[in-house]
Amino acid sequence: MSKLKIAIQKSGRLNEDSLQILKDCGISIDNGKDQLKASASNFPLEVFYLRNGDIPQYLRDGVVDAAIIGENLLVEKGEDIQFTEKLGFSKCKVSLAIPKGEKYTGLSYFQNKKIATSYPKTVQDFLAKNNIQAQLHIINGSVEIAPNIGLADGICDIVSSGSTLFKNNLKEVEVLLKSEAVLAVSPEIKKEQQEILNKLQFRIQSVLKGRQSRYILLNAPNDKLEKIINILPGMRSPTVLPLAEEGWSSVHSVLNKNEFWEVIDALKENGAEGILVCPIEKMVI
């Protein structure tokens, strides 16, 4: 039986988040310690644990059919590789930073300066687009130390919380791009593997929709029911059921988690009571 070969980062946060979304998709990975390859016991899937920077080439060559990878890495090493889904985790920025004590005057600050980075293509494209000439020092790992030892005037690196910059006495001054994990596809993928990937992507979309939503149940007096229903967005329309107590109904609906508190406030103001909110594991549309 054909299997879909998918690559994920060998270790780190992206590895953990990638395995979690596969688990949430109902896929059980027989993952032994220090394995470089593992199979799913209940889905036609093989997982390859690879060094992050090698994944674009493995996709390009068709060694793996798909990958969960940072969008920033595709920009740097795999512009020819397409992705089919943004996954909503491992969000970060690729940013330029300089020492805190330096006065930043705009991009012209970097004219004829030295920039240390692990993302030379991304930086060079950004500088060229803005007509800035700078000298790049390519460093793999520990880029933040470069200004402190006199190797560079600034850096370009991944920024998540900003704590690493803060610890190294640096400040973020320009965001080159925003990134998150994506589901990337090999240009060499075969038809059978594409069909398996479509099934996996359907499961992923259901998980992501569930993560973005909340299930809400509430009690509403019938004389205020119309106002309350108009507040609730719902998937199509809210479900309304009569309560044992005359004159009251139970209303069920789905909310976007980002709009949650604003909607709750409006519901309370319009007479809703006994509001119960639950997470949604998966949502199939």
Residue type, position 61, single letter: D
Tokens of 25: 């998709």
What pLDDT was estimated at residue 234? 59
Q: How many CB atoms lie within 10 A of CB 257?
A: 13
The predicted structure's pLDDT at residue 32: 59
pTM of the model: 0.84
Dump pLDDT digits (tens) for 158-175. 898 888 888 889 999 999
6-20, 26-40, 147-161, 174-188: which range is least confident on average?
Answer: 26-40
Mean pLDDT, the chain, rounded, equals 90
Look at 12-21, 56-65, 80-89, 174-183 and tell me which has the smallest mean pLDDT: 12-21
Highest CATH level, class, for 92-179: alpha beta
Q: Say yes or no: domain 4-89+180-210 is CATH 2.20.25.90.
A: no
Percent of the chain with pLDDT over 70: 97
Assign a CATH topology to domain 213-279.
Answer: Alpha-Beta Plaits (3.30.70)
pLDDT digits (tens, 9 = 90+) for 106-152: 999 999 999 999 999 999 999 999 999 999 999 887 888 888 888 89
Helix (H), strand (E), coil (C) string for 21-82: HHHHCCCCECCCCCCCEEEECCCCEEEEEECHHHHHHHHHHCCCCEEEEEHHHHHHHCCCCE
Indicate the range of 33-37, 52-56, 123-127, 255-259 predicted with least confidence. Answer: 33-37
Cβ neighbours of residue 243 closer than 8 Å, sequence gap 6 or more: 219, 249, 250
Residues of the chain with CATH 3.30.70.120: 213-279
Angle, alpha carbons 181-186-187 (nearest 5°):
130
The H or E element that residue 114 is part of is strand 114-117
Whether the pLDDT of residue 235 is over 90: the answer is no
**Ranges in the chain annotated CATH 3.40.190.10:** 4-89+180-210, 92-179
User: If you count them, how many residues does the chain have?
Assistant: 285
